[in-house]
Amino acid sequence: MKVQVSAFDLAKAKGAVVAFVQEGNKLTTFAQAQDDQTKLFSETDRGRFTGGFKQLQLVNDKKDQTIYVGVGKKVAQGQWRKLGLSLGKKLESMGIAEATILLDGDASDVSVVEAACEFAEGADQAFYRLDEFKSDMKPAHKTKFKKMNFMVAEEELKATKAALKDFEEVSQAVYMARDLVNLPGNVVTPDYMEEKALQLKTHGIKVDVYDEKKLKKLGMNLMLSVGNASKYDTRMIVMTYNGAAKTAPTYAMVGKGITFDTGGYSLKPAANMVGMHADMGGAAAVLGAMRLLAGKKAKVNVVAVLAVAENMVSSDATRPSDIVTGYAGKSVEILNTDAEGRLVLCDAIAWTVDKIKPAAILDIATLTGACMMALGAHYAGGFSNNDEVFHDLEEAGNKSGDRVWRLPIGPEYHAMIKSDFADIANIGGMYAGASTAACFLEKFVEETPWAHIDVAGVAMGGKLGPNPEIKGGTGFGVKLLAEYMMSKAK
Ligand code: BES
Ligand code: MG
Ligand code: ZN
């Protein structure tokens, strides 16, 4: 969707008008100004509408529609996004193409600028569709919504315009990640991931692909072991974006890109295997974030690494209890082939630490069911060896709406992944599964400031995940990673 910002002027409102009402049917300043002219709100039977949070009231004039959105008492950080999403769904169901949002500073804990950004992001999520497999998808079924106009007070105009200038970049980056997560495993193969990454070259991003031959030469046997049974080649995709001076530090992101996770010989039960085409949600977030950083011309240097493989079963597959030594020279006893994310990631992380020497490294992965059990759809799990990195990540999370909750790592959890015959085991037993997975990765980051983001519970919405508001991929992580990186801009 397109976004425009202009100064408050009712005469220039286009499309449906959206006005905000506080609890007790208290109109905000702009809503009141509209009502003074039209009496639309005050002279309509509003039924049970009280201005409660997320309540919607549609009032039709002869030619115009006004939608009153209840905001409750005051809208806290993150909540404008929710209001945007519910309004977006309403606009979508009504087939409306354009709306004008009357946004004053009333009723908000956050600034008008933040409120507008959040609201736009939330609404934009409502218009997302994946319809290429619906054979009956006539144009009539497609989203009609095109443009959202924010009307703000004169003194907010400049800052709000500036903040929303690149809105379409945000929209497209998040949509791209959602498409990648939603498209099934027979479409988003490792080959397809490479193709998508290469497309980012046109955005000014350098892309290097390490194929199986190169990976073998580098000794990245843990990554290779995961994809060994797949007919598609495993690869590591390295993307470089230099938005800052050569002398500025480089930050790194690493994403788990398992295009389908059967579990391998530690086969998943049928019900748990459904949806495992989304096991590349981390890589999708990294791709989206790179696109967004380039789109915004962020003044930061970033290297992004995608660890891409398909976890299948064949006579070439890894056997539970195989011992494999990867790039870092550490041997791993693979007791469970379904704990494959950490295997592709550890080689990618070890390579990144060794070759890129980043100032900090963030990895993101749909890593453990345990994390989903712990936090559901409301927070990603966060783990870090560095309080400053985690603090900045948490802040980026609160700002972007992709929130992160810190979970523990430490010697107690490291002790759980000791192996009898190798340096490390790839599983730590049935307890604290998110923390033992993080500890496994920590062994490969050495002294580099690092945070790990487990998005198993948040990458997918709807039926397949604990987030019922959004169907399929959520795009979680795109804005989080980009926000973190932009906080490092010089
Ligand atoms: N892809 C899964 C994690 C996952 C589970 C993501 C549910 C999204 C929803 C991962 O590869 C996996 O299978 N992890 C195992 C680890 C276990 C064997 C130690 C898990 O969580 O059960
Ligand atoms: Mg193969
Ligand atoms: Zn798995």
CA-CA-CA-CA torsion for 428, 434, 438, 441, nearest 10 degrees? 60
Residue-wise pLDDT tens digits, 305-327: 999 999 999 999 999 999 999 99
Domain count for the chain, please give it: 2
472 close to 460: Cβ distance less than 8 angstroms: yes
pLDDT at 38: 92
Q: How many CB atoms lie within 10 A of CB 329?
A: 9
pLDDT at 463: 59
Q: Give the Cα-Cα-Cα angle 339, 340, 341 (nearest 5 degrees).
A: 100
Question: Is the distance from the beta carbon of residue 293 to the nearest atom of ligand 1 less than 6 Å?
Answer: no
Question: What is this structure's pTM?
Answer: 0.97
Residues 226, 256 within the same domain: yes
Residues 39, 89 within the same domain: yes
373 close to 265: Cβ distance less than 8 angstroms: no
* Annotated catalytic residue 268: yes
pLDDT at 470: 79
Q: Residues of the chain whose pLDDT is less than 50? A: none
* CATH number where 15 lies: 3.40.220.10
- The rounded distance, in Å, linking the Cα atoms of 320 and 338 is 9
Q: Give residue 276's domain range.
A: 171-486
pLDDT at 134: 77
Question: Is the distance from the beta carbon of residue 336 to the nearest atom of ligand 1 less than 6 Å?
Answer: yes
Residues 307, 363 within the same domain: yes
Distance set, CA 323 to CA 43, 220, 331, 438 (Å)? 75, 14, 7, 20
* CATH number where 339 lies: 3.40.630.10
Of the three residues 141, 165, 189, the one that is the final residue of a domain is 165
Residues 204, 150 within the same domain: no
Question: Is the distance from the beta carbon of residue 366 to the nearest atom of ligand 1 less than 6 Å?
Answer: yes
Residue 51 DSSP one-character state: -
Residues 366, 463 within the same domain: yes
484 close to 396: Cβ distance less than 8 angstroms: yes
Helices 281-295 and 478-486 sit at what angle, rounded to 10 degrees?
50
Residues 9, 119 within the same domain: yes
Dig out the tokens for 351 from the structure. 């390579």
- The rounded distance, in Å, linking the Cα atoms of 74 and 106 is 8
> How close is the Cα of 312 to the center of ligand 1, in Å?
14
Query: Around ion ligand 2, which residues have CB less than 5 A away?
Result: 230
Q: Catalytic pick from 81, 342, 399, 488?
A: 342
Beta strand extents in 312-388 (DSSP E only) = 322-325, 331-334, 360-365, 380-384
Of the three residues 131, 165, 199, the one that is the final residue of a domain is 165
Residues 155, 183 within the same domain: no
Residues 256, 280 within the same domain: yes
- The rounded distance, in Å, linking the Cα atoms of 119 and 164 is 11
Residues 190, 263 within the same domain: yes
Handedness of CA 105, 477, 353, 425 (dihedral sign): positive
126 close to 470: Cβ distance less than 8 angstroms: no
Residues 282, 392 within the same domain: yes
Q: Catalytic pick from 14, 73, 74, 268?
A: 268
- The rounded distance, in Å, linking the Cα atoms of 484 and 364 is 13
Please classify residue 37 by burial: count the beta carbons closer than 10 Å to its beta carbon, then call 0-12 exposed, 13-18 middle and 19+ buried.
Answer: exposed
Question: Is the distance from the beta carbon of residue 369 to the nearest atom of ligand 1 less than 6 Å?
Answer: yes
Q: Which residues contact 58 (CB under 8 A, 6 or more apart)?
A: 65, 66, 67, 68, 90, 94
* Annotated catalytic residue 201: no
At which residue do the structure tokens 């100032």 appear?
A: 359
Of the three residues 108, 131, 165, the one that is the final residue of a domain is 165
> How close is the Cα of 224 to the center of ligand 2, in Å?
8
> How close is the Cα of 238 to the center of ligand 3, in Å?
23
At which residue do the structure tokens 């934009």 appear?
A: 124
Q: Which of 258, 276, 338, 413 to mutate to test the pocket of ligand 1 (most atoms within 8 A of CB)?
A: 338
Question: Is the distance from the beta carbon of residue 72 to the nearest atom of ligand 1 less than 6 Å?
Answer: no
Question: Is the distance from the beta carbon of residue 457 to the nearest atom of ligand 1 less than 6 Å?
Answer: no
248 close to 444: Cβ distance less than 8 angstroms: no
Ligand 1, atom 18, lies closest to the CA of 339
pLDDT at 140: 58
Residues 95, 115 within the same domain: yes
Residues 373, 315 within the same domain: yes
Atom number, ligand 1, closest to the C-alpha of residue 263: 13
Distance set, CA 483 to CA 148, 367, 401, 488 (Å)? 23, 22, 10, 9
